[in-house]
Amino acid sequence: MCFLIVLLSTIFAPVVADPLYTACSTEYASGIFPDIVSGQALCRGDVNSSACQTCLREASQKLLEECKSKDAAIWYEACQIRYSFQNLTSLNVYAGKYPVLESQKKSVSDTVHFYDYLKLLMDNLSIDAALNRSKLMFATGEIKFSRNETIYGHAQCTRDIREDECQECLSFALLDLKGCCSSKQGGIVVSGSCNLRFESVQILQRLKSLDSIPNS
């Protein structure tokens, strides 16, 4: 696996952080390896190049420690990385994951109306991320839920997929987000090709404000 180690190597020192999620396939890499291994790295759109490479350094080391399989991926707060002994484009089937800790966050008081606002925000961010390649297929925004409460969110796709594939991936992710976290004060869903996240506190820069839902 020496060429895999070279593929995942970078020159920056690791950061002290725990991964959000690690996925190793059940098919282990052993014996004779194929001539080609594919890899893909993605950093969150608001992360600078130094922090990006530092995160990827930590992620690649952790992935090689935990996974000895033919396909594997790992997600951190600021980046994600994956490799495969298959063509990665053949693996772009949505398979969303969410950290267990997300389901342990505090619940909101008005779950029904909260999700209405959350969905409006995430639908707009999904469209913005898919249609604006100049923004690295990354969109952030916020929406007022009440006088004292604001929902902050971001959506991102990898740039190897088409606009319609990005929107489809994010729509599946939003369904998973609803299932795991729509009544919570924050949540994240990660996958190989797209990610969605929202929080009740501001965690990102470059946020775009979205008008609240009009009263019916």
Give the residue carrying structure tokens 């995430």.
Answer: 122
Domain span at 11: 2-91
78 and 138 housed in the same domain: no
78 and 109 housed in the same domain: no
69 and 170 housed in the same domain: no
72 and 113 housed in the same domain: no
Amino acid of residue 10: T
pTM of the model as a whole: 0.79
Give 82-87 contacts, CB < 8 A, sequence gap 24+.
82/39, 82/40, 82/192, 83/4, 83/7, 83/8, 83/37, 83/38, 83/39, 83/40, 84/37, 84/38, 84/39, 85/29, 85/33, 85/34, 85/36, 85/37, 85/38, 86/38, 87/38
Q: Is residue 216 part of a domain?
A: no
Of 47, 68, 91, which residue is a domain's last?
A: 91
21 and 62 housed in the same domain: yes
Position with higher pLDDT, 183 vs 174: 174
117 and 206 housed in the same domain: yes
Total domains in the fold of the chain: 2
Question: 3-class secondary structure for 27-59?
Answer: CECCCCCCCCCEEEEEECCCCCHHHHHHHHHHH
Question: 192, 197, 140, 134: which is closest to 166 by C-alpha?
Answer: 192
DSSP, collapsed to helix, strand or coil, labels residue 114 as: helix
152 and 54 housed in the same domain: no
What average pLDDT is seen over the chain? 79
Of 24, 58, 91, which residue is a domain's last?
A: 91
Residue 110's pLDDT is 85
CA distance 175 to 172: 5
Mean per-residue pLDDT, 155-176: 93
Residue 15 has pLDDT above 60, yes or no: no
127 and 167 housed in the same domain: yes
Residues 78-89: tens digit of each pLDDT: 999 988 877 666
75 and 147 housed in the same domain: no
Of 91, 120, 141, which residue is a domain's last?
A: 91
Question: 94, 202, 105, 112: which is closest to 149 by C-alpha?
Answer: 202
124 and 42 housed in the same domain: no
